[in-house]
């Protein structure tokens, strides 16, 4: 009998590695562990900037697993590795900005009935049943970014709005999308995903209590008590 092994795509690997990094950082940050607090402070400086502008940040992002070949996968080519590393840089630096001074985990995994994709997150910035054109335009502008560098800057603006409202995001899913974005035709694919997420968003019916921010898989729920630690 032949056993079929599911193919692990490069995008899957990027998303999984991002999830592992962010889950560990979030757990440490919420537990007020100094190494995690310092790491997020350093990563925040890279939000909206290209990886090559702050090469010292790569010491904080272990890309070693991308050079390994897990079961069901194949070795990544040089061009795939470059795109994967750039996607991880953008996703992790945006997460660091999103988590700043927040006592709840801003990384939450997307799952059925609890959408945490970018489109859904933007939709949650709006009142139920209403479309805020100003906010919607930010998502549209991100969707029409000509390259990853501009996209990172426009996503940074959205992340700032999400942080103000304590709206969570699946940054690992975003990392995979950022990887896909960089390939021919990839931007169209990602735009469709954001659009579906925006229109399919739902947590609870209008009129019910707001959904609580549960912890991401593997994250701690310990509250931070000192927001001054994020002054840097």
- CA pair distance 94, 47, nearest whole angstrom: 5
CATH number of the domain enclosing 33: 1.10.520.40
Eight-state DSSP code of residue 86: H
* Among 92, 115, 117, CA closest to 17: 92
In a domain, 24, yes or no: yes
Q: Higher pLDDT residue, 70 or 145?
A: 145
The confidence score (pLDDT) of residue 129 equals 81
Q: Which range has the worst mean pLDDT, 114-118, 124-128, 129-133?
A: 129-133
User: Which residue bears the tokens 């990544």?
Assistant: 76
The whole domain housing 136 covers 10-103+113-205
- CA pair distance 18, 15, nearest whole angstrom: 5
Q: How many domains does the chain have?
A: 1
Q: Higher pLDDT residue, 129 or 21?
A: 21
In a domain, 62, yes or no: yes
Q: Is 48 helix (H, G, I), strand (E, B) or coil?
A: coil
The confidence score (pLDDT) of residue 149 equals 92
- Asked if residue 190 lies in contact with residue 177, where contact means CB atoms within 8 angstroms, the answer is yes
In a domain, 232, yes or no: no
In a domain, 188, yes or no: yes
Over range 121-136, report the average pLDDT.
Answer: 91
In a domain, 218, yes or no: no
Alpha helices of 116-229 — where are they, by DSSP H?
118-123, 133-143, 148-164, 171-181, 186-200
Over range 41-70, report the average pLDDT.
Answer: 85
The confidence score (pLDDT) of residue 203 equals 53
Q: What is the pTM of this model?
A: 0.85
In a domain, 167, yes or no: yes
Eight-state DSSP code of residue 127: P
Cα–Cα–Cα angle for 22, 197, 73, rounded to 5 degrees:
50
- CA pair distance 15, 201, nearest whole angstrom: 21
- Asked if residue 154 lies in contact with residue 146, where contact means CB atoms within 8 angstroms, the answer is no
- Asked if residue 48 lies in contact with residue 33, where contact means CB atoms within 8 angstroms, the answer is no
Q: What is the mean pLDDT of the chain?
A: 86
In a domain, 96, yes or no: yes
- pLDDT tens for 167-210 read 999 999 999 999 999 999 999 999 999 999 998 876 543 333 34
Sign for the CA dihedral angle at 98, 192, 186, 139 comes to negative
The confidence score (pLDDT) of residue 81 equals 96
* Side-chain-facing half-sphere of 128: CA atoms under 13 Å: 9
Q: Higher pLDDT residue, 107 or 5?
A: 107
- pLDDT tens for 63-107 read 999 999 988 889 999 999 999 999 999 999 999 999 999 999 999
In a domain, 173, yes or no: yes
Over range 223-228, report the average pLDDT.
Answer: 40
* Side-chain-facing half-sphere of 143: CA atoms under 13 Å: 19
């Amino acid at each position: 009998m032949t056993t079929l092994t599911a193919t692990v795509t490069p995008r899957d690997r990027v998303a999984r590695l991002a999830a592992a990094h962010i889950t560990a950082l979030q757990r440490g940050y919420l537990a007020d562990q100094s190494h995690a607090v310092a790491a997020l402070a350093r990563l925040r400086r890279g939000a909206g900037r290209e990886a090559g502008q702050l090469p010292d940040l790569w010491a904080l992002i272990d890309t070693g697993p991308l050079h390994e070949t897990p079961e069901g996968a194949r070795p990544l080519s040089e061009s795939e590795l470059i795109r994967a590393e750039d996607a991880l840089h953008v996703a992790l630096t945006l997460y660091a900005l999103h988590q700043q001074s927040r006592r709840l985990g801003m990384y939450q995994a997307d799952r059925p009935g609890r959408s945490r994709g970018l489109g859904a997150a933007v939709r949650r910035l709006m009142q139920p049943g209403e479309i805020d054109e100003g906010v919607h335009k930010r998502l549209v502008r991100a969707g029409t970014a000509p390259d990853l560098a501009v996209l990172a800057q426009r996503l940074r603006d959205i992340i700032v709005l999400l942080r103000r409202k304590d709206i969570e995001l699946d940054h690992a899913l975003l990392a995979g999308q950022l990887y896909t974005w960089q390939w021919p035709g990839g931007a169209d694919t990602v735009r469709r995903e954001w659009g579906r997420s925006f229109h399919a968003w739902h947590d609870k019916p209008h009129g019910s209590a707001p959904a609580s921010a549960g912890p991401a898989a593997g994250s701690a729920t310990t509250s931070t008590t000192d927001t001054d630690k994020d002054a840097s």
